[in-house]
């Protein structure tokens, strides 16, 4: 049997940060804590949705929808649904559209006027696998739904930066841009189309087709392959209100000393954005350099049939964050006590002590294979336990055990009938 191409297992004994489950859980817990500190609440949506969620949400001719979705139908459905309507499902390629679908379906906007939601989970895109790009990957994303207050943009950017900094990633840059409102986007499209037509002879056929079909995609994906000068800047085509918003945002970011670069050619490969778009990239990542990306999407909720609800959000690729951390084995699982019995006849008493300590929330390992004393010591070494508890028949008759510090070699005799406290306190030393 083989794992699906582009999918990955996360293993108990992984050798790098991204394939060890202990590291994975430590990191995702840290990221969750950051979300909580900004009072974002978790929303958990299913991994599969009807394909209409993404076709409406992301846009039919985006790469994600037209090429990358894992879609499937079920024969069983045909019997249940009326006439020829065949239900199509897909594994979610991103988290924003499902969150919006769920918000409307569950009337969350009636419970709170501003919803601060976050999600963490697997996403699926049928892309060419390479370093930092997988067919199954994980995102942690934040969606702030229900306001166009500019200060929320500051909050969202600061939250995105905090996630990166929490993992001690040093080499990263925030790029921000404004793509204005719907009319601005139409103007930007026309400008890029005209620019492309003017330079038709220098553009290869495949890219020219992209240009004609979707000028923004050409700007997003293809234009930088060519050494063009004077590529149109979105900022020259946006409406006055969007321009003023963008200026105000940069002032607010300067006030809090948030580091960013303006990239007036930044547009996103998803259709729902307006005004602010942003990305954080790291040159340590190679070709797939985006750690996270997002922007404002004020019209998506209406497109889904909800009431007008301005929103902003972003998502970070967890595998990419881990790659950018660039540190091996920082997170190591260890145990508090390894219990070693000198004589096999004390194995049951040893197990009883292990269970007692585990009930107190202490991480304890014991070898139940009745191995020799020396072999148990080797196991204890390998397990990276902080201390060992050595149990011998002689001592046990007096309710005593020996606690040995694995680093210093120091030993203490402890009475386990009336001094378990002492054992527990030993862990704090």
Q: Please select the residue that binds ligand HAM; options are 217, 320, 387, 404, rule is CB under 6 A.
A: 320
Is the dihedral angle over the CA atoms 61, 63, 65, 71 positive or is it negative? positive
Q: Which is nearer to ligand HAM, 220 or 336 (CB)?
A: 220
The minimum distance between CB 275 and ligand HAM, in angstroms, equals 12
Q: Please select the residue that binds ligand HAM; options are 27, 156, 316, 354, rule is CB under 6 A.
A: 316
Residue with smallest beta-carbon separation from ligand HAM: 317
Q: How many CA atoms lie within 13 A of 318 on its CB side?
A: 27
Q: Is 405 in the site for ligand HAM (CB under 6 A)?
A: no
The minimum distance between CB 45 and ligand HAM, in angstroms, equals 12
Q: Which is nearer to ligand HAM, 127 or 284 (CB)?
A: 127
Q: What is the DSSP string of 239-252?
A: -HHHHHHHHHHHHH
Q: Is 246 in the site for ligand HAM (CB under 6 A)?
A: no
Token output for 164: 């990166």
Q: Which is nearer to ligand HAM, 126 or 258 (CB)?
A: 126
The minimum distance between CB 89 and ligand HAM, in angstroms, equals 19
Q: Please select the residue that binds ligand HAM; options are 49, 298, 319, 367, rule is CB under 6 A.
A: 319
In this chain, which stretch among 33-41, 93-101, 348-356, 394-402 interacts with ligand HAM, using CB under 6 A? 93-101
Q: Is 294 in the site for ligand HAM (CB under 6 A)?
A: yes
Q: How many residues bind ligand HAM (CB under 6 A)?
A: 27
Q: At what angle do helices 21-37 and 150-166 cross, to 10 degrees?
A: 150
Residues 6+ apart with CB under 8 A from 192: 211, 215, 216, 218, 219, 223, 232
Q: Which is nearer to ligand HAM, 192 or 292 (CB)?
A: 292
From CA 11, how far away is CA 283, in angstroms rounded?
28
Q: Which is nearer to ligand HAM, 40 or 297 (CB)?
A: 297
CB-CB neighbours of 173 under 10 Å: 15
Q: Is 101 in the site for ligand HAM (CB under 6 A)?
A: no
The minimum distance between CB 392 and ligand HAM, in angstroms, equals 53
Q: Is 159 in the site for ligand HAM (CB under 6 A)?
A: no
Site residues for ligand HAM, 296-315, by CB under 6 A, read 297, 313-315
Q: Look up residue 294 and give its DSSP letter.
A: E
Q: Is 156 in the site for ligand HAM (CB under 6 A)?
A: no
Q: At what angle do helices 150-166 and 318-325 cross, to 10 degrees?
A: 50
Q: How many CA atoms lie within 13 A of 141 on its CB side?
A: 29
Q: Annotate 364-374 with b (16+ C-beta within 10 A) or e (fewer).
A: bbbbeeeeeee
Which x/- pattern, by CB under 6 A, does the window 107-146 give for ligand HAM? ------------------x-x----xxx--x-x-x-x---
> Of all helices (H) and strands (E), which one includes residue 353?
helix 347-359
From CA 88, how far away is CA 62, in angstroms rounded?
18
> Order of strands, edge to edge, in the sheet holding 115-124?
41-42, 115-124, 136-145, 311-317, 290-296, 274-281, 173-178, 261-262
Q: Please select the residue that binds ligand HAM; options are 48, 104, 243, 290, rule is CB under 6 A.
A: 290
Where do contacts with ligand HAM occur on this chain (CB under 6 A)? 94-96, 125, 127, 132-134, 137, 139, 141, 143, 270, 290-295, 297, 313-317, 319-320
């Amino acid at each position: 049997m083989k794992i699906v191409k582009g999918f990955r297992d996360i293993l108990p004994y992984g050798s790098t940060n991204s394939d060890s489950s202990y590291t994975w859980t430590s990191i995702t817990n840290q990221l969750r804590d950051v979300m909580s500190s900004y009072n974002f609440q978790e929303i958990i949506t299913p991994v599969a949705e009807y394909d209409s969620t993404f076709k409406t949400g992301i846009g039919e001719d985006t790469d994600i929808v037209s090429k990358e979705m894992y879609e499937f139908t079920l024969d069983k459905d045909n019997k249940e649904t009326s006439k020829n309507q065949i239900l199509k499902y897909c594994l979610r390629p991103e988290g924003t559209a499902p969150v919006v679908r769920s918000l409307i379906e569950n009337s969350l906007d009636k419970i709170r006027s501003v919803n601060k939601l976050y999600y963490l989970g697997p996403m699926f895109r049928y892309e060419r696998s390479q370093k930092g790009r997988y067919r199954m990957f994980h995102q942690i994303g934040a969606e702030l739904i229900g306001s166009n207050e500019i200060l929320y943009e500051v909050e969202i950017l600061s939250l995105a930066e905090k996630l990166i900094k929490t993992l001690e990633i040093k080499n990263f840059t925030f790029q921000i841009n404004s793509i204005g409102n719907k009319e601005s986007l139409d103007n930007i499209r026309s400008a890029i189309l005209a620019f492309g037509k003017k330079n038709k002879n220098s553009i290869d056929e495949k890219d020219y087709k992209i240009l004609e079909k979707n000028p923004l995609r050409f700007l997003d994906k293809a234009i930088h392959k060519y050494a063009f000068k004077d590529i149109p800047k979105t900022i020259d085509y946006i409406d006055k209100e969007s321009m003023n918003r963008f200026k105000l945002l940069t002032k607010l970011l300067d006030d809090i000393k948030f580091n960013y670069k303006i990239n007036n050619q930044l547009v996103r490969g998803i259709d729902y954005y307006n005004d602010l778009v942003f990305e954080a990239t790291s040159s340590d990542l190679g070709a797939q350099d985006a750690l996270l990306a997002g922007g404002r999407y004020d019209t998506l909720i209406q497109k889904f049939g909800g009431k007008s609800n301005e929103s902003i959000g972003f998502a970070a690729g967890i595998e990419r964050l881990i790659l950018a951390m660039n540190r091996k084995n920082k997170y190591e699982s260890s145990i508090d006590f390894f219990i070693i019995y000198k004589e096999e006849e004390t194995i049951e008493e040893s197990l009883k002590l292990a269970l007692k300590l585990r009930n107190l929330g202490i991480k304890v390992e014991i070898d139940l294979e009745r191995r020799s004393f020396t072999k148990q010591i080797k196991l204890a070494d390998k397990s990276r336990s902080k201390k060992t508890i050595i149990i011998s028949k002689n001592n046990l008759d007096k309710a005593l055990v020996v606690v040995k510090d694995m680093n210093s070699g120091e030993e203490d005799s402890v009475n386990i009938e009336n001094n378990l406290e002492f054992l527990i306190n030993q862990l704090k030393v």
